[in-house]
Amino acid sequence: MKTLTLFLTTPPYSHENTHTAIRVARAALDKRWAVNLFASADGVYNFTRNHQARGLPHAEKEFAELIARGLCVELCGTCLNFRGISAEQIVSGASPSSMKRLFGLVKNSDVVVTLGT
């Protein structure tokens, strides 16, 4: 099985990166790839609860559906702490992680895509 890792560093509604990450993850899962997504910096906001998006791809809902299909989501723990985001505020299935873990994901992936500014 091939592995894709997405590295997302931008918030959900100020760039098209979130929508791109959702579409690429969905396509890779459809092709039966293992898909990891590591969010860092403001990218961690994609995985907080209770978004109020209207007329846009709903990051919380879309990522929750992809997690249910097998998307592995890890969030920079330092970035969560810096932004005051607690474990209770993040989407079920996403988990705090570390840069050391990101290195392992990148090292063990066939393809790595960075979505940031």
What residues make up the domain containing 69? Answer: 3-115
At 3, the pLDDT band (50, 70, 90 cuts) reads: very high
Distance between CA atoms of residues 18 and 21, nearest Å? 5
Please report which helix (H) or strand (E) contains residue 68, including its range. Answer: helix 59-68
Question: Where residue 22 sits, what CATH number does that domain have?
Answer: 3.40.1260.10
| Strand (E) or helix (H) holding 20 | helix 17-30
The pLDDT confidence band at residue 13, using thresholds 50, 70 and 90, is confident
pLDDT at 102: 97
Digit-coded pLDDT (tens) for 32-58: 999 999 999 999 999 999 887 777 778
Whole-number percent of the chain with pLDDT over 70: 100
Residue 72's pLDDT band, with cuts at 50, 70 and 90, is very high
For 81, other C-beta atoms within 10 Å of its C-beta total: 11
Q: Which residue has the higher pLDDT, 13 or 84?
A: 84
Residue 70 Rama label (left phi>0; alpha psi -120 to 50; beta): left
**Per-residue pLDDT at 81 exceeds 80:** yes
Q: Residue 44 class from Cβ within 10 Å (0-12 exposed, 13-18 middle, 19+ buried)? A: buried
- For the chain, the domain total comes to 1
